[in-house]
């Protein structure tokens, strides 16, 4: 219960961009907490970067210290992207007189390959209008998108050669090619388009399973993933704010269709895992009797729609998280005045960005 208002605290969660408290209270900024979380997240992302850039031949933690400068590059790029996104929300909220906290950075060492779950801000007062909601919602992903786009462009123009991969995996020098195994980053339309435009035909470009050794490319890719996640038109995500501001109550219809699409993609990934288990035979986890029943059905699906099996299994988890915790429907705001033409144009641009940055497969382990 909220002792100052006599009612319940109402928190509205966004995946990375914001956590909104609609109760009309004023709080001082807790600077020590923000600084501590920032430093802990910087440390955890540096640790992740250290894993990415340390050669296979390094056998002790003491020897890894020599690669800290490269790891700090990785973490600095990542923290700058997260800060651009969150402070985009922050300054837009302040411009509309909406009380908000500074970003809370979220360290997640070991569990996240990038060492973080992003960051959140907490809005302390109600958002007065659809126009204010739009400005606050769109400012974060657009700011982060610009930074991530710069990373990808610079990374593709100044990409190191294959020697970077050989320095990390010396054993690859003796092979006829780079193995197509390990953590593979998913492609998306904007990444493929930039590569076609900026990388000369025939020039070396790291395969997607080795992309994480290149800080600019890896953090640029991660930034686009965060942008796409936030831009989904669901409930209290940034995309939900934007679509509600643009279309009002029709946001719920759009959100339900987006939710169904995510479910279908995620189910394809589950079918893919079952099919892989069946193909493993005695080495699989399922009993032979169940494998024999599933084999003809899953085999037919794999032959008919092989692309369906390449989806990211996390999409179904994300869809269920949004459906039951974040919710699909966006709550109403006080002033329901429609957006002007300039904001509508920016809104359509943000939806184009979602289409260009959405990755079907995201990250696959092979």
Would you tell me how many other CB atoms lie within 10 Å of the CB of residue 305?
Answer: 12
Q: What is the pLDDT of residue 39?
A: 97
Compute the average pLDDT of residues 245-272.
Answer: 94
The C-alpha atoms of residue 276 and residue 302 are separated, in whole angstroms, by 10
Confidence band, pLDDT 50/70/90 cuts, at residue 10: very low
The C-alpha atoms of residue 158 and residue 199 are separated, in whole angstroms, by 10
Domain that residue 90 falls in: 11-248+334-365
User: What is the DSSP annotation of 239-262?
Assistant: HHHHHHHHHGGGHHHHHHHHHHHH
Q: What is the pLDDT of residue 366?
A: 64
Compute the average pLDDT of residues 78-95.
Answer: 96
Confidence band, pLDDT 50/70/90 cuts, at residue 58: confident
Q: What is the pLDDT of residue 303?
A: 94
Q: Strand 183-185 relative to strand 363-365: parallel, antiparallel, unpaired?
A: antiparallel
Confidence band, pLDDT 50/70/90 cuts, at residue 62: confident
pLDDT tens sequence across 108-148:
998 899 999 999 999 888 899 999 999 999 999 999 999 99
Confidence band, pLDDT 50/70/90 cuts, at residue 64: confident
Q: What is the pLDDT of residue 138?
A: 97
Residue 321 has pLDDT above 80, yes or no: yes
Q: What is the pLDDT of residue 7?
A: 37
pLDDT over 90, % of the chain: 67
Residue 125 within a domain: yes
Residue 18 has pLDDT above 90, yes or no: no
Number of domains in the chain: 1
The C-alpha atoms of residue 156 and residue 357 are separated, in whole angstroms, by 17
pLDDT tens sequence across 168-181:
999 999 888 898 87
Residue 38 within a domain: yes
Residue 309 within a domain: no
Among 45-59, 250-264, 318-332, top mean pLDDT goes to: 250-264
Confidence band, pLDDT 50/70/90 cuts, at residue 334: confident
Residue 288 within a domain: no
Backbone angles phi, psi at 107, to 5 degrees: -75, 140
In this prediction the pTM is: 0.88
Higher pLDDT, 58 or 150: 150
Tell me the average pLDDT of the chain: 89
Residue 62 within a domain: yes
Residue 16 has pLDDT above 90, yes or no: no
Q: What is the pLDDT of residue 36?
A: 97
Q: What is the pLDDT of residue 24?
A: 44
Q: What is the pLDDT of residue 364?
A: 77
Residue 326 within a domain: no
- Any residues with CB less than 8 A from the CB of 157 and at least 6 apart, and which? 198
Among 281-285, 314-318, 347-351, top mean pLDDT goes to: 347-351
Q: What is the pLDDT of residue 302?
A: 93
Residue 223 has pLDDT above 50, yes or no: yes
Residue 182 has pLDDT above 60, yes or no: yes
Residue 285 within a domain: no
Residue 209 within a domain: yes
Residue 317 has pLDDT above 70, yes or no: yes
Q: What is the pLDDT of residue 363?
A: 84
The alpha helices in the chain, defined as continuous H runs, are 31-53, 61-64, 68-95, 130-157, 163-168, 189-198, 215-231, 238-247, 251-280, 288-304, 314-321, 341-357
Residue 284 has pLDDT above 90, yes or no: no
Confidence band, pLDDT 50/70/90 cuts, at residue 227: very high
């Amino acid at each position: 219960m909220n002792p100052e208002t006599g009612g319940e605290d109402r928190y509205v969660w966004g995946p990375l961009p914001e956590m909104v408290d609609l109760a009309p209270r004023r709080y001082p900024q807790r600077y020590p907490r923000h600084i501590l979380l920032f430093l802990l997240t910087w440390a955890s992302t540096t640790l992740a970067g250290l894993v990415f850039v340390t050669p296979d031949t390094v056998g002790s933690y003491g020897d890894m210290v020599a690669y800290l400068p490269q790891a700090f590059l990785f973490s600095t790029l990542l923290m700058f992207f997260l800060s651009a996104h969150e402070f985009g929300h922050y300054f837009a909220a302040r411009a509309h007189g909406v009380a908000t906290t500074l970003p809370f950075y979220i360290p997640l060492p070991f569990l996240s390959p990038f060492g973080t779950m992003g960051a959140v801000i907490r809005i302390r007062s109600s958002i007065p209008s659809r126009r204010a909601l739009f400005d606050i919602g769109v400012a974060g992903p657009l700011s982060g998108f610009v930074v991530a786009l710069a990373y990808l462009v610079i990374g593709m123009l100044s990409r190191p050669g294959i020697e970077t991969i050989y320095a990390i995996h010396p054993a690859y020098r003796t092979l006829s090619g780079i193995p197509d195994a390990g953590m593979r980053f998913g492609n998306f339309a904007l990444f493929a388009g930039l590569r076609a435009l900026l990388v000369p035909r025939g020039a070396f470009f790291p395969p997607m399973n080795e992309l994480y050794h290149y800080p600019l490319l890896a953090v640029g890719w991660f930034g686009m993933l965060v942008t796409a996640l936030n831009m989904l038109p669901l409930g209290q995500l940034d995309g939900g704010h934007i679509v509600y501001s643009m279309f009002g109550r029709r946001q719920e219809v759009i959100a339900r269709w987006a939710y169904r699409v995510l479910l279908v993609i995620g189910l394809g990934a589950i079918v893919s895992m079952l099919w892989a288990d069946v193909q493993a035979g005695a080495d699989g986890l399922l009993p032979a009797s169940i494998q024999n029943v599933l084999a003809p059905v899953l085999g037919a699906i794999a032959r008919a729609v092989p692309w369906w099996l390449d989806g990211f299994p996390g999409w179904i988890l994300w869809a269920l998280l949004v459906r039951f915790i974040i919710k699909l429907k966006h709550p109403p705001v006080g002033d329901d005045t429609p957006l002007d033409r300039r904001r509508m144009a920016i809104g359509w641009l943000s939806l184009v960005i979602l289409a260009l940055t959405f990755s079907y497969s995201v990250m696959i382990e092979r």
